[in-house]
Amino acid sequence: MSPRHVVVVGASLAGHATARALRDAGYDGALTVVGDEQHRPYDRPPLSKGFLDGSLSPEDLALEDADDTDLAATWLVGRRAVGLDVGLGAAGVEPTHCVTLDDGTVLVADAVVLATGARARRLPAHLGGDLAGVHVLRTLDDALALRTELVAGSRLVLVGAGFVGAEIAATAHKLGVEVSLVEASTTPLAGPLGEEVGAAVAGLHTAHGVPLYCGVPVARLTGTTQVDGVLLDDGTHLPADVVVAGIGSVPATDWLAGSGVPLTDAGAVATDATGATAVPGVWAVGDCSAWWDVERAAHHRTEHWNDALTRPRAVAASVLGQAPAAVAAAPYFWSDQYGVRLQFAGRRTGGEVLTVESGSLEGGDALVVWWHGATAVAVLGMGQPKLFNRWKRSLGVASVAA
């Protein structure tokens, strides 16, 4: 039976793409989209780049366009879901579920799609994470607050040298901010890219005069009410007017406590390869979800823009009982740092053989391929967009404009 009312909880990229995918698949029933931010759907990747440096406005980030006039959806923005009551339904009757919002509103739905995304991890208060001048960057409001403090001559310390931290560092450096990067591991990005390639990407910072402190955890932030520095475990003190924590994210799923929706140990919603959970009538997509990965033989949470855009097609097909829709064969993500576009596609486990097909890692313009036997399983481009795209297509990764 086709649902009469679908509620999508989450109004960011995955939620908006789910609403679009449902209508594109022919769904003509009631559709409600709930978002806990005050903003209509917007694109997050520019928050650490063009929006942070002031070259883009909030309007430039809008995901909605003229094609969305036919979504005929009810948008409830600035409303947070606080509970999900899962109805079991009688024999032969589709179950109905109730989504409770923070203002007491109860939405009754035949199908619920969870697309609540994730929250940025914050430095704990006992380490000084509650001091003024300490930020995270996940939302538009986060970016608005941060960019008012990134003025030329100010001192910024980034705790965490992952992709988001690296992008903020590059943007702040361009603005004339004095930037330092702190990374607890010995090599930034060693997890996704491996030690050798991670070190080459990290070299972009040092090549632009941005100091990188690796393998030394943060002991605490200093200051009374306003942060004035970062103290490392080895006793190094880095003066700071602004601190940004780029230490990952956690799925926004705490509101599902008691609902019966299964979560992984890391708190993501566990689903099959179409986004369906073990609870009839409930699906999940985007950063809050961990889809079943056949190659890993495990649930896996993929926090990539490309997945949040493309996987809703599979969810829509599953919700409507249609033939399964194709999902990108392998992860794809990109990052812009110091004028260099970094692009990665595929899967690597650490046992592959690495080759440099073009350019050099030292020069920061490499095309790197990881091989499992005679099969290319992953590719990284550093300022090699055309060559990268050719290799990406050979991996069977869906090509989506960045």
- What is the domain-level CATH number for residue 219? 3.50.50.60
Same domain, 134 and 200: yes
Residues 193 and 337 in one domain: no
**9 shares a domain with 126:** no
Question: Do 241 and 130 share a structural domain?
Answer: yes
Query: Are residues 151 and 212 both part of a single domain?
Result: yes
Confidence at residue 88, expressed as pLDDT on a 0 to 100 scale:
61
- Of 221, 247, 273, the residue at which a domain comes to its end is 247
pTM as predicted:
0.92
The CATH code of the domain that includes 347 is 3.30.390.30
**Residue where one domain finishes, among candidates 247, 270, 296:** 247
In a domain, 401, yes or no: no
Residue 145 lies in a domain: yes
Same domain, 144 and 109: no
Torsion region of 26: left, alpha or beta (phi above 0 gives left; psi -120 to 50 gives alpha) = left
pLDDT of residue 399: 39
Pairing relation of β-strands 375-382 and 367-372?
antiparallel
Residue 165: give the domain boundaries: 122-247
Look at residue 193 and tell me if it is in a domain: yes
Same domain, 20 and 99: yes
Per-residue pLDDT tens listing for the chain (402 residues): 689 999 999 999 999 999 999 999 999 999 999 999 999 999 999 999 999 999 999 999 999 987 677 799 999 999 999 999 998 654 445 668 999 999 999 999 999 999 999 999 999 999 999 999 999 999 999 999 999 999 999 999 999 999 999 999 999 999 999 999 999 999 999 988 999 999 999 999 999 999 999 999 999 999 999 999 999 999 999 999 999 999 999 999 999 999 999 999 999 999 999 999 999 999 999 999 999 988 788 999 988 898 999 999 999 999 999 998 877 667 888 999 999 999 999 888 888 999 999 999 988 899 999 998 888 999 999 999 999 999 988 885 443 333
> In terms of domains, do 363 and 381 share one?
yes
**Cα–Cα dist 100/257, whole Å:** 13
Q: Are 10 and 118 contacting, i.e. CB atoms less than 8 angstroms apart?
A: no
